[in-house]
Chains A and B, each alone.
Chain A
Amino acid sequence: MTTYVEAATVADAVAAMADGARPIAGGTDLVVGARQGKASLPGSLVGIHRIAGLDAIGDHDGGLRLGALVTHQAILTHPAIRSRYTGLADGSANVGSHATRVNGTIGGNVMNASPAMDTGAPLLCFEASATLRGPAGSRQVALAELWTGPGQTSAALDELLTAITLPRVSPGTGSAYVRLQYRRQMEIAVVGAAAVVTIDDDTVTDARIAIASLSPVIMRVAGAEEALTGRSADPHTVTAAAEAAAAAAAPISDVRASAEYRRAMAAVITRRAINTAIARAGGTDVPIPASDATFGS
């Protein structure tokens, strides 16, 4: 027997969560998971989908602040995200179908903590952090510290994610998220990779690489970043970085792919992500989502 209350404010929601309720917004993971029999609906729910202002996208210290209720559709159609945080738009464009994207929120996506989520790798590369509001106030947590395992976060049960903050992006930066997919929509990443690359005069001055669906949590790969940084963005360097990313992978076998296949594809998909980020850094317009645009490359 599930009980339900609707929150009008963040404080209402946090109070309900302190009493044991779990938050629900679009329900595209929570309710679908219950329908699939993965996990029953929580015994107590607090609807946060109508909390005023939580769906805002705004500037934050030259970067960006996404309210927890910002939908994938809002992300992928937002001009500043498409131009400056293109890899995040790639990720949101890959999520579900159009019905998933207009209902599914970035807050739910992050707190669901799937190692296969499409926005996770780009958010890690943009060094995003989560704002968690609990009974005692708010705290900021880097996403790298938020995700602790498949479906697990370091947030307390009475902490509500209220926003995702992305720092400003340097000029000359391009980004991309690419996934291996058997179909273009209604798909979960078989293997995913994000790259955020800053280029100055043909030299990579900053590189961030993250892999998804390849380890228990989505993670940055320092070896891949070091293989690119300070070097010219040529195919040999990109291949070396992609292979370093693949070497860090610890994939599982499941219904979508074997661990061996995932490991073999990790370098391919990472290479596509890096090449797309480099192309975008140089002003080339690679369509969103990059997974479709780079298929076969």
Chain B
Amino acid sequence: MRYPISLTVNETAYSLEVAADQSLLQAIRDDVGLTGSKEGCDDSECGACMMLIDGRPVNSCSYLAVQADGSQITTVEGLADGLDLTPLQAAFLTEGGVQCGFCTPGMLISAIALLEANPDPTEDEIRIGLSGNLCRCTGYDGIVRAVQEVARGLVG
């Protein structure tokens, strides 16, 4: 049994047919064709699949696509305008917040949700906010500095 759903992904409308047990991540990667969001752990531990659903951060590997019917989805592909990076993306690069890049799509989405809820976070609040996103390369310091810089308006 497949179910018709409508999603607006990065401001583009899509009509899909999904199985009830299909994850939102599978729908976005396999059916929509946007592969920026990653599958890491596949059970909500690592945050590599994080997207915004109507502005809320969600581990899309563990969220049913059928439940997202009618929602606005934001993935990492929706951030930059062509080659023009957002200030947050640029800060990740300049601060060394990216090495292998696998966690970066989810990390950026998580940081956007954090800054939306708390535009002026302390370092501790940034670390708490990003604690659902694992990074095995950077040691996190560059990521935290990038978020701090954007919060303080030092870049962009």
A residues contacting B by CB (< 8 A) are 1-4, 6, 24, 27-28, 31-32, 34-36, 41, 45, 47, 49, 96-100, 102-103, 183-186
Contact = CB atoms under 8 A, between A and B. Distances in A.
Given A4-B20, A24-B64, A49-B67, A185 B128 contact: yes
Contact of A97 (B20, B23, B61, B132): B132
A31 B63 contact: yes
A99 B59 contact: yes
Contacts of A24: 64, 67
B3 interface: yes
Q: Helix, strand, loop or mixed for chain A's interface?
A: mixed
B57 interface: yes
Contacts of B117: 98
Contacts of A98: 57, 110, 113-114, 117, 128-129, 132
A35 B128 contact: no
B62 A47 contact: no
B41 to A, nearest CB: 8
A98 B118 CA distance: 12
Most chain A beta carbons < 10 A, residue from B45, B63, B64, B129: B64
Contact of B66 (A47, A185, A186): A47
B58 A99 contact: yes
B44 interface: yes
5 contacts: A47-B64, A98-B57, A102-B57, A102-B113, A183-B131
Residues of B in contact with A, size category: 20 to 34
Given A3-B1, A4-B3, A100 B129 contact: no
Nearest to B49: A99
B132 A2 contact: no
Given A35-B62, A98-B117, 15 more contacts: A2-B20, A4-B3, A4-B64, A6-B66, A27-B64, A28-B62, A31-B23, A31-B62, A31-B63, A35-B42, A35-B43, A98-B113, A103-B56, A185-B131, A186-B131
B19 interface: yes
Contacts of B45: 186
B69 A6 contact: yes
A49 B21 CA distance: 16
Contacts of B113: 98-99, 102
A98 B115 CA distance: 12
Contacts of B21: 2, 34, 41
Contacts of B47: 97, 99
Contacts of A97: 47, 131-133
Nearest to B19: A2
A231 B98 CA distance: 57
B3 A100 contact: no
Interface in B59-75: 59, 61-64, 66-67, 69
B128 A27 contact: no
Nearest to B133: A97
Given A97-B131, A100-B132, A103-B56, A27 B63 contact: yes
A186 B131 CA distance: 7
A3 B110 CA distance: 31
A175 to B, nearest CB: 22
B88 interface: no
B59 to A, nearest CB: 5
Interface in B91-123: 110, 113-114, 117
